């Protein structure tokens, strides 16, 4: 059992490994050793291939920044971070434990057409929150969208998030970030000019929505307005897309939250 502040942490087993750290299931206890619940913990532990490209200190800063940015975006459609230990040798953060990611729901054909539309709406609300906080996610894909026990889908993995108001990214980290994005979800202007914007996140949303293979033709037209290869044809803001989805549903008499 480890101690952090007034909490005790009991590791319950590894869930998976990313390029910058591993994720494990943990049980959290308060100072009276009463259980607070099970959570996921991401622990800094960069792979040797990543360490060959960027210094450990830079990577540590990036890891801590990931947690700080994610915790600034508290919203039901953004994975919630409840603890951050920046001073440990291997920093870590504790977040809500997901059931699975959207990629596995797609693979398992687990969703009806109506549920898929609700998923797109939830992801859009999460992106709206991130953009309203002044960030770009830059790595939206089904693997980074988690299904929570409540049924809500929440955006995670802020490893490539950029603060649009600051020059927080070092050249090395930006380069490694670009190398790590997933081409299918990257707008053409990123591949040609390395230019990220609100519209490049909207493109990624469009590609995620395409992966869901929604059959509703009117909805598919709205999705095409996100995933257009021509950025001039794409939605300017996530809010405009959300409004169009809401208008479509109002026309059809669908009640929405």
242 lines the binding site for ligand ATP (CB under 6 A): no
125 lines the binding site for ligand ATP (CB under 6 A): no
Footprint (CB under 6 A) of ligand ATP, residues 144-183: 146, 156-157, 159
Please work out the total of residues on this chain that contact ligand ATP, with binding judged by CB under 6 A: 20
- Which listed range, 17-25, 51-59, 67-75, 243-251, lies at the site for ligand ATP (CB under 6 A)? 17-25
Sign of CA dihedral 81, 84, 86, 92: negative
- We find the least distance from the C-beta atom of residue 93 to ligand ATP, in angstroms, to be 10
Residue nearer to ligand ATP on the CB measure, 42 or 116: 42
Residue nearer to ligand ATP on the CB measure, 109 or 179: 179
Footprint (CB under 6 A) of ligand ATP, residues 41-60: 42
Given a contact cutoff of 8 angstroms between Cβ atoms, the answer to whether 77 and 125 are in contact is yes
Sole residue written with tokens 């021509």: 230
C-alpha radius of gyration, the chain, whole number: 19
Which of 70, 71, 79, 227 is close enough to bind ligand ATP by CB under 6 A?
Answer: 79
Helix (H) or strand (E) holding 193: helix 188-193
Residue nearer to ligand ATP on the CB measure, 19 or 151: 19
- We find the least distance from the C-beta atom of residue 18 to ligand ATP, in angstroms, to be 2
Residues 6+ apart with CB under 8 A from 217: none
Region of 179 please: left (phi>0), alpha (psi -120 to 50) or beta.
alpha
Residue nearer to ligand ATP on the CB measure, 9 or 97: 97
Q: At what angle do helices 171-180 and 56-72 cross, to 10 degrees?
A: 70
Region of 55 please: left (phi>0), alpha (psi -120 to 50) or beta.
beta
92 lines the binding site for ligand ATP (CB under 6 A): no
Output the DSSP codes for 219-234: HHHHHHHHH-SSGGGS
The answer to whether 25 is a known ligand-binding residue is no
| Interface positions with ligand ATP (CB under 6 A) | 15-16, 18-21, 23, 40, 42, 79, 95-98, 101, 143, 146, 156-157, 159
């Amino acid at each position: 059992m480890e101690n952090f502040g007034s909490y005790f942490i009991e590791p319950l087993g590894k869930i998976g490994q990313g390029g910058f750290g591993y994720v494990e299931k943990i049980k959290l206890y308060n100072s009276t050793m009463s259980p607070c619940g099970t959570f996921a913990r991401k622990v800094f532990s960069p792979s040797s291939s990543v360490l060959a490209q960027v210094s450990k200190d830079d990577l540590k800063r990036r890891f801590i920044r990931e947690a700080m940015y994610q915790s600034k975006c508290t919203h039901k459609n953004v994975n919630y971070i409840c603890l951050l230990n920046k001073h440990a040798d291997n920093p870590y953060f504790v977040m809500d434990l997901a059931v699975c990611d959207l990629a596995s729901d797609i693979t398992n054909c687990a969703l009806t057409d109506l549920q898929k539309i609700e998923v797109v709406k939830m992801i859009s609300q999460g992106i709206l929150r991130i953009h309203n906080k002044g960030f770009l996610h830059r790595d939206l894909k089904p693997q980074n969208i988690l299904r929570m026990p409540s049924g809500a889908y929440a955006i995670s993995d802020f490893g490539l998030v950029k603060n649009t108001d600051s020059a927080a990214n070092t050249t090395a980290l930006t380069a490694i970030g670009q190398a790590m994005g997933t081409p299918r979800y990257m707008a053409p202007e990123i591949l040609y000019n390395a230019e990220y914007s609100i519209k490049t996140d909207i493109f990624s949303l469009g590609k995620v929505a395409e992966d869901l293979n929604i059959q509703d033709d009117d909805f598919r037209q709205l999705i095409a307005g996100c995933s257009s290869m021509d950025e001039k044809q794409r939605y300017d803001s996530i809010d405009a897309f959300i409004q169009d989805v809401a208008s479509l549903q109002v026309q059809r008499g669908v009640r929405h939250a």
